[in-house]
Amino acid sequence: MTLYKDELGVRGKRSPKWAALLCGVSAVSLLSAMTAVAQEGVDDEARQEVIVVQGIRGSLERAMDLKRESNGVLDAISAEDIGKFPDTNLAESLQRITGVSIDRSNGEGSKITVRGFGPDFNLVTLNGRTLPTADIGVIGERGNYGAGGDRSFDFSNLASEGVSSLEVYKTGQAILPSGGIGATVNIRTRRPLDNPGFQASAGVKIMNDTSVEAGDDYTPELTGLASWTDNTERFGVGVFGSYSKRDSGAPTQQVNDWLVFDPAVDGIFADSGYVRGDGSTQVTNAPADDQLWAVPQDSRYDFSDLSRERLNGQLVLQFRPMDNLTLTGDVTYASNESDEDRYEQTNWFATPFDQVVFDNDGPVATAVFLQENNNGTKDIGFEQTNRATKDELTSIGFNADWELNDRARVILDAHTSEATSGGNNPLGHSATFVAIGAPVNLQHSVDFRSGYPIQSFTTDDSASGNNNGMLDVGDLATQVARSAASNMKHEVDEIDLRFVWEFDSSSLTVGGNYRDTTMERSTRTTQQDLGSWGFSNPRDVEQFAPGVMEAYCLSCLFDDIPVGQADTAFRGSATDLFTALTAAYAGNSDNLSETHDIVGEEITSLFAQFEMESELLNRPARVSAGIRYEDTKVTSVTQQSIPSGVLWISDNDFLVQQSGAKEDLSGEGSYDHLLPNIDFQIDVTDNIVARASYSKTIGRVAYSSLFASTTAAAPNRPTALGGQVTGSSQNPALLPLESDNFDVSLEWYYGDTSYVSVGYFDKRVKNFVGNGVVDRNLFGLRDPASGVAGTRSGDALDVIDALGVDRSEANMFTMVALIDANNGNVAAAQAEFQANLVNGALPQTYVDTILGLYDVSADANDPLLSFAVSQPINNKEGNIDGIEFAWQHFFGDTGLGFAANYTMVNGDVELDPASPPSENQFALVGLSDSANITAIYENYGFSARLAYNWRDTFLQQTNQTGDRSGIYVEDFGQFDLNVSYDINENVAVSFEAINITGEDQRVYHRVPEQFYYSYELSPRYLLGARYKF
């Protein structure tokens, strides 16, 4: 039997179900253990090799042997020794495999993309069992609220020391669970009966993250692993425990959004509200009359103090009551608690501008320098945020492996597993926000020509501040308080039964699998007015929350990325502020919105796989052919709040009000698939292996796309001035992606640990999920800022035009609010508006007064608000192909070697940056080339690896906000170093350096000139010691 067949045919899938847990002997059903799943071990001789051959070279040799002996395309990474995996982070190990690239969160590997397919479309199993996933995704991310609902697995939740190997199956196999259209990644852990006797390892590391500002400079990582069997090798116990803590800091920059305009629909820039009506705006490189043009809403600097604590535990008990029966019970537990305090400085644009410079060389003319002189002062925003989550994974499993005779065996495997992710801050929120501002900004400019936002502003605190001539805590006033409480739970019950027959040169595996999954998500958001956007109660921060806020130098915390004026910013505890300020303004409504979504999937599978070894043209050859049938039923239920109206609360701020009423929505879907696979392998020579494979695989869409909910978003500015309004409706009847996969490869094994391989893959995919967009009204909501004749907003624009003042958001809101305040008397409102003009413009202090006094609700005269409602639909096809090249070489017995690979991926699914913002586009996210090279030395007890990992620019998001733009992550590469020395056969010391050169990340919107987000990263160092018993 080949190694590959043994790994998969006997150990491949484990299916857990409550009934299966009861099938085990009662004593064993009490066992909890993490490591052993439904997999069958390699033969005894191979097992001994795993123990004896240690270190980097031994790890690479085992991975190479597994690759060579596999059917189809398989790559693997093996532990170097008990309790020692090549990398601290599993995702960062996986990126060294061809075709695999990773996403990072706070500089740490978290999720994987394989052959162009992102995290949702790569299935992760633990010892062959389908793992539940739960991640609401707020920590270290650009977004504010987070919600969760995808299928991606976060590898940073698992400690690498408890893993014996990672196996990446890039071609479909009938005996593998479906869902990994990119790849199926199996995480293998140790089982005591595979490694008889007593073995143990204990390790300690001290981490120094050089980015840390408020946390501890040095944090611990502790691990312990032990495995024991009795003298008869019939009973064994394995345990693993790990604790790690990381404190870090993150200087970031961002733009809330870019607004992209189509001159055929929205008019040319010169006629827009961004240009002063008297023609005084200086415009350089103005967009062509037929060219898309874009302007940013604001620019922001942030600093985040982050902390993460991770706890892992594994227990496995094995019992072999007779030579041909092995019973295994296991428990796995993992938790990850993360906390982020973020402090922000925001300069938003009141518009119109006094000076604008465009970069008009590309398909979109992008404003790269903008400057405005305020008539009075506006605010500089200093929002305070706390985001905190706790992720947990618990899996309980049972496995029985019964060898009926020398040629037949039956394997029963079952598990019940649960993953949760939810808010974990002192208020029970996943995110707490308190918007605070200092209304002292007299003049403001932002320069994007360096590729980053360079802010500059002039302050004057004489009117709305404390009038001491400097920006300080006494100038701060409250605006609004917001909260989000997102929680996600994903349960998987799975049972797998398979029979394996082995013949002289072939084998047959047949079986069935049942998997019942439930994904449940709840979101609860609030927004409560404090002093409101117009600062109705100046200087109230110190009044109601004395001593919470402090001044600090924000720009001083940036080391690499260019930054503008931010020498004085403010920070304080968002939760303390929220508690004090919401109590002080307890009479104000909190506008509660709640949604509860549940998606259930029942998947029933039958499978058969035949493998045969023979000869072709007098050369050894192998064939593996299989078929898998799957039937899936989907149910979706949603309970959601019903919006009651749209409230216009300031110039470009709108709020969708909630009625308090709720409605229940439901939907369902079903589909079945027949998934064949065939793999052929021939040893062209004793050292050269050629392969060809075909398989059909599926990838299920994110759970969040299967919800039955409908959401209405608030306008991003008045629709009369080009504002965009979006909504979304999900689709429980979505089908999974289907891919016909073709693979060919040639591999030359020219040494014990040296080989070269080149492979070509082609994936022809249908049922890609695109967005169908329909313009329609939602919930009967009306538009208070339409500008339609006969409405308050239409009358307001007529007055503004008659007075010859700018058609700005602030002027429009002020005029509508005055009409409202004067009970619809336009003449009286015009008189008040005109009386407050100074040199043809309203002073900002007067505008702020109006903002603080009035909100504008839509009324019966306002037209129904038209939403661009998107719904995911299966309407796209695509072709993805690529080349994977790998070379691993050691120079004799010198101890020197290297491992290198390069993956080139092509696809016909890309965005067109010149596409009008009204047109929906489709593209595959995550598609990118990648490469890494590792220099290796291992000799005389000393080992070292210097690795460089690179990923090309890739699309991260499609159809962002209302203008259907893409979000791109620029190419990124980093150096990592790992050095260790074996003092003796028991004691080893190690040193690791991650991101040695402190490379940073930059993200852009639609085109590179539209800066969107940057993340400044710093090196991390770990000093460790490990004792092997």
Q: Name the burial class of residue 503, with classes exposed (0-12), middle (13-18) and buried (19+) by CB atoms within 10 angstroms of its CB.
A: exposed
Residue (of 18, 13, 284) closest to 130 by Cα position = 13
- Does residue 906 sit within a domain? yes
Residue 17 has pLDDT above 60, yes or no: no
Q: Does residue 610 carry a pLDDT above 90?
A: yes
Domain count for the chain, please give it: 1
Amino acid at 494: E
Over range 255-280, report the average pLDDT. 92
Convert the pLDDT of each residue in 960-978 to its tens digit.
666 788 999 999 999 999 9
**pLDDT the model gives residue 187:** 94
Measured between alpha carbons, how far is 367 from 349 in angstroms, rounded to an integer?
Answer: 13
Q: Calculate the average pLDDT of the chain.
A: 90
Kindly state the helix (H) or strand (E) to which residue 544 belongs, with its residue range: helix 540-544
Name the β-bridge partners of 81.
84
Mean pLDDT of the 390-410 span:
97
Q: Are 630 and 178 in contact (CB under 8 A)?
A: yes
613, part of any domain: yes
Structure tokens at 446: 């932002």
- What distance in Å separates the CA atoms of residue 105 and residue 221, rounded to the nearest whole number? 19
Burial state string for 438-454 with b = 16 or more CB within 10 A and e = fewer than 16: bbbbbbbbbbbeebbbb
- Residue 688 three-state SS: strand
How many other CB atoms sit within 10 Å of the CB of residue 125? 26
d(CA 86, CA 97): 13
Among 10-24, 48-62, 832-846, the range with the most confident prediction by mean pLDDT is 832-846
User: What's the rounded mean pLDDT across residues 91-108?
Assistant: 89
Q: Which helix (H) or strand (E) holds 108?
A: strand 108-114
pLDDT tens, residue by residue, 492-519: 999 999 999 999 999 999 999 999 999 9
In degrees and rounded to multiples of 5, residue 462 shows phi and psi of -75, -30
Which residues, 6+ apart, have CB-to-CB distance to 943 below 8 Å?
A: 55, 56, 936, 937, 979, 980, 981
Q: Using alpha carbons, select from 190, 157, 186 the residue that is nearest to residue 84.
A: 190
DSSP class of 354: S
pLDDT confidence tier of residue 909, bands split at 50, 70 and 90? confident
8 has a pLDDT exceeding 60 = no
Has residue 860 been placed in a domain?
Answer: no
> Comparing C-alpha atoms, which of 31, 172, 21, 132 is closest to residue 496?
21
Do 71 and 681 form a contact (C-beta atoms < 8 A)? yes
Closest CA to 570 of 476, 468, 469, 480: 476
**CB atoms < 10 A from the CB of 567, how many?**
13
Query: Is the separation of the CB atoms in 578 and 434 below 8 Å?
Result: yes
Q: 551-603: per-residue pLDDT in tens?
A: 999 999 999 999 999 999 999 999 999 999 999 999 887 778 899 999 999 99
Domain that holds residue 705: 3-253+303-344+385-428+485-501+593-597+605-765+868-1028
Helix (H, G, I), strand (E, B) or coil at 607: strand
Check residue 143 and give its pLDDT. 61
Look at residue 672 and tell me if it is in a domain: yes
Instruction: Identify the bridge partners of residue 388 per DSSP, sorted by sequence position.
Output: 339
Give residue 36's pLDDT. 33
Q: What is the pLDDT of residues 621-677, one digit of tens each?
A: 999 999 999 999 999 999 998 999 999 998 889 999 988 888 899 999 999 999 999
Q: What is the pLDDT of residue 107?
A: 86
- Return d(Cα 845, Cα 849) in angstroms, integer: 6
**Straight-line distance from the first to the last Cα atom of the chain, in angstroms, rounded to the nearest whole number:** 34
- pLDDT value at residue 660: 80
- The pair of three-digit structure tokens given for residue 392, joined into one six-digit string: 């947990």
Determine the length of the chain: 1029
Give the mean pLDDT of 231-253: 96
> Hey, which of 586-590, 880-884, 904-908 has the most confident mean pLDDT?
880-884
What three-state secondary structure class fits 216? coil
Omega of the bond leading into 352 within 30 degrees of 0 (cis) = yes
Q: 64 in a domain, yes or no?
A: yes
Cα atoms found within 13 Å of the Cα of residue 562, Cβ hemisphere only? 12
pLDDT in tens, 785-820: 999 999 999 999 999 999 999 999 999 999 999 999
In angstroms, the CA 166 to CA 186 distance is 6
pLDDT for position 7: 35
Q: What pLDDT, on the 0 to 100 scale, is given for residue 886?
A: 97
Structure tokens at 371: 């400057």
Query: In 3-state terms, what secondary structure has residue 134?
Result: coil
- Between CA 675 and CA 681, with CA 679 as vertex, the angle to 5 degrees is 175
pLDDT tier for residue 319 given thresholds of 50, 70 and 90? very high
Cα separations in angstroms, 25 against 314, 397, 399, 773: 21, 13, 11, 56
Res 48: pLDDT: 34
The rounded distance, in Å, linking the Cα atoms of 115 and 410 is 35
Residue 577: inside a domain: no
pLDDT per residue as tens digits for the range 204-219: 999 999 999 999 999 9
- In angstroms, the CA 876 to CA 860 distance is 41
pLDDT tens profile 129-183 = 999 999 998 887 676 666 788 899 999 999 999 999 999 999 999 999 999 999 9
CA-CA-CA-CA dihedral for 591, 423, 1001, 384, to nearest 10: 50
What letter does residue 864 receive in the DSSP assignment? B
525 occurs within a structural domain: no
Q: Say if residues 436 and 476 touch (Cβ distance below 8 Å).
A: yes
pLDDT digits (tens, 9 = 90+) for 836-867: 999 889 998 899 899 889 999 999 999 999 99
On the question of pLDDT at 1001 being above 70, the answer is yes
Across the chain, which distance is largest between two alpha carbons, in Å?
A: 100
Residue at 309 is within a domain: yes
Instruction: Pull the structure tokens for residue 567.
Output: 């020498």
Q: Looking at 256-324, which runs of residues are DSSP E strands?
A: 258-261, 282-284, 292-296, 298-322
Q: What is the mean pLDDT of residues 615-621?
A: 95
Rounded to an integer, what distance in angstroms lies between the CA atom of residue 804 and that of residue 1027? 80
Tokens of 350: 């009141």
Record the tokens describing residue 326, joined without a space.
């092995």
Q: Any residues with CB less than 8 A from the CB of 892 and at least 6 apart, and which?
A: none
CATH number of the domain that 311 lies in?
Answer: 2.40.170.20
CB 425 within 8 A of CB 48: no
If you compute the radius of gyration of the chain from its CA atoms, what whole number of angstroms results? 31
Smallest CA-to-CA distance from 415 within 291, 532, 331, 519 is with 331
Q: What per-residue confidence (pLDDT) applies to 564?
A: 92
Mean pLDDT of 523-528: 92
Q: Cα separations (Å) of 605 from 122, 179, 732, 921?
A: 19, 12, 21, 35
Residue pair 354/277 in contact (Cβ under 8 Å)? The answer is: no
CA nearest to 13, candidates 418, 404, 420, 510: 510
The upper half-sphere exposure of residue 870, i.e. CA atoms within 13 Å in the direction of its Cβ, equals: 21
Q: Which of 142, 42, 128, 175 has its CA nearest to residue 624?
A: 175
**Residue 82: both structure tokens together:** 């008990």
| Both tokens assigned to 934 | 């590792």
Residue type at 877 in one-letter notation: E
Q: Residue 507 has which token pair?
A: 């084998």
